[in-house]
Copies of this chain bind each other. A is one copy, B any other.
Amino acid sequence: MLRKLLPREYGFFEIFEEHSRVMVEASQELLSLVSTGVNIETKVKRIKELEHECDTITHRCVDALHRTFITPIDRNDIHRLIGRMDDVVDFIDAAADRIHLYQITEMTPELKSFADILVRSCEALQTAVKGLRNMKASQTVLDACVNVNRYENDADTTLRSALAKLFREEKDPIKIIKLQEIYAHLENASDRCEDVANTVEGIILEHA
């Protein structure tokens, strides 16, 4: 019972920061994967490991949430925040996995654009998530959130031009199916980054 009165020891902020650190690493691995096209299998395996790490962190967060009586942030916001962060890494993993599974060897410039956007989004989210700890609506943190929204617009534009090019240039429907799926995972990852940014922004405004 006493335990329930000591929320601090569960460290939600540490959990978010740890998750965001792994998220950044996963996005960087993906960028390296699609930029170089070498050691694909090793990098895909590494991303899978990072995805498992995030699952563990997420599970620890939900567990802490249910054992903590008074949380420093609204319970639903904690739930949404960790859930969406986890989705980001799940989609990065799915994209990497399919690149390997479908034996995509020719990395399109659009794959690189997506990975680039995701690295910048994840890094901005790491900055944003750090801002939760002191709850100051600092310009740095709010700027990071705004930037993630802008990156998501870039991802939308990238998806549109990637699909336009794919259907214009590729005549093999099976290759189209494969790349369409991979692009969709990447766009979903970016979508979830935006959800994370909006949740962080909301929490900070609420406490400001």
Q: Write the residues of chain A forming the contact surface with B, with a CB cutoff of 8 angstroms.
A: 62-63, 65-67, 76, 97-98, 101-102, 160, 163-164, 167, 173-174, 176-178, 180-181, 198, 202-203, 205-206
Bound CA span A102–B180, Å: 13
Chain B nearest CB: distance from A51 CB in Å?
10
> Judging by beta carbons under 8 Å apart, are A178 and B174 in contact?
no
Bound CA span A97–B66, Å: 38
Main secondary structure of the interface of A (DSSP, over half): helix
Copies per assembly: 3
> Judging by beta carbons under 8 Å apart, are A63 and B160 in contact?
no
For A173, give its contact among B62, B163, B173, B203 (CB under 8 Å): B173
Bound CA span A101–B67, Å: 47
> Judging by beta carbons under 8 Å apart, are A66 and B205 in contact?
yes
Known: A177-B180, A180-B177. A202 touches B66 (CB 8 A): yes
> Judging by beta carbons under 8 Å apart, are B62 and A202 in contact?
yes
Bound CA span A157–B60, Å: 24
Chain B nearest CB: distance from A71 CB in Å?
12
Chain B nearest CB: distance from A197 CB in Å?
11
Which chain B residues border A167 with CB–CB below 8 Å?
Answer: 101-102, 174, 178
Which chain B residues border A101 with CB–CB below 8 Å?
Answer: 160, 163-164, 167
Chain B nearest CB: distance from A183 CB in Å?
11
> Judging by beta carbons under 8 Å apart, are A205 and B67 in contact?
yes
Chain B nearest CB: distance from A104 CB in Å?
11
Which chain B residues border A176 with CB–CB below 8 Å?
Answer: 174, 177
Which chain B residues border A98 with CB–CB below 8 Å?
Answer: 163
Bound CA span A206–B67, Å: 6
